[in-house]
Amino acid sequence: MHVRTRLSRLTVCSRRSKNGVSNSSPPARCWPIGTGRINTAKEAKISRLLSEETIRLELNKPREWAELLDENNGDDSVLPPIQQRREEIIEELVEVIVPSGKIQHTTKILGDLFFRERQEPTALGHGVAVPHVRTIHARDVTIGFGRTSHPVDWGAHDGIPIDLFFIMVTPKYDDKVYNKLWRKFASILILETTRERLRQAEEPGEILRIMREIE
């Protein structure tokens, strides 16, 4: 076993030969210390899979678009098409979860997420969206959080633009974990008090505390 620093986090990487003895070849899998791993559906908790490094309290893209609108007197023709805006936010959300160390091929995961989003928008309503996908390009389950003070049209059934985003990426084989986490998102985020607490949180650690308390 060897330890290396990755993205300013301590990361433990291991690879064993068939006889169980560590070798010096490049590590097959790495997980930053402190990032939860889920082995069974019973252990599946959103708060275990979030970390301060996978939380962004102000997404960059919506802020850039708001500034562009201000510069052009509110003329939204200067903005990218809606579908492109959604995909640019998904790109930023994937960027948010990269520090988890569980993303194998960023470009391919983006392709899977874009395809899933085109099939049906992942907005839950009430200003919340959870882009999610099961993919062979994820090493393990990972979840991230992003927020914006400039809500974005996400094709929600209630017509409310989105300001709270979670992203969930799981390996293809983790059906039980995936389904349990998805049900948790739906049941937790339907609560107005929870959504407002997430909107008012002033630091990533507060987001983590909120999720731990309500799970």
Delimiting residues of CATH 3.40.930.10 domain(s) in the chain:
36-214
Q: What confidence score (pLDDT) does residue 41 get?
A: 59
> pLDDT tens digits, residue range 110-129?
999 999 999 999 999 999 99
- Per DSSP, the three-state class of 5 is strand
Q: Please name the fold of domain 36-214.
A: Mannitol-specific EII; Chain A (3.40.930)
Of the pLDDT bands very low, low, confident and very high (cuts 50, 70, 90), residue 44 is: confident
Q: Extract the runs of DSSP E, i.e. beta strands, from the chain.
A: 2-6, 9-14, 29-32, 55-56, 123-125, 128-129, 132-135, 142-152, 162-171
Q: Are 141 and 102 in contact (CB under 8 A)?
A: yes
Q: Taking residues 39-61, what's their average pLDDT?
A: 88
Looking at residue 188, its pLDDT comes to 94
Cβ-contact 143, 46 below 8 angstroms? yes
pLDDT of 40 reads 56
Could you tell me which residues come within 8 angstroms of residue 135 by beta carbon, excluding any fewer than 6 positions away? 108, 109, 112, 169, 170, 171, 172
Which tokens in the block code for residue 32? 């930053």
Half-sphere exposure of 82 (CA within 13 A, CB side): 11
Is there a contact between 100 and 51 (Cβ–Cβ < 8 Å)?
yes
What does pTM read for this prediction? 0.80
Per-residue pLDDT of 131-168, as tens digits, reads 999 999 999 999 999 999 999 999 999 999 999 999 99
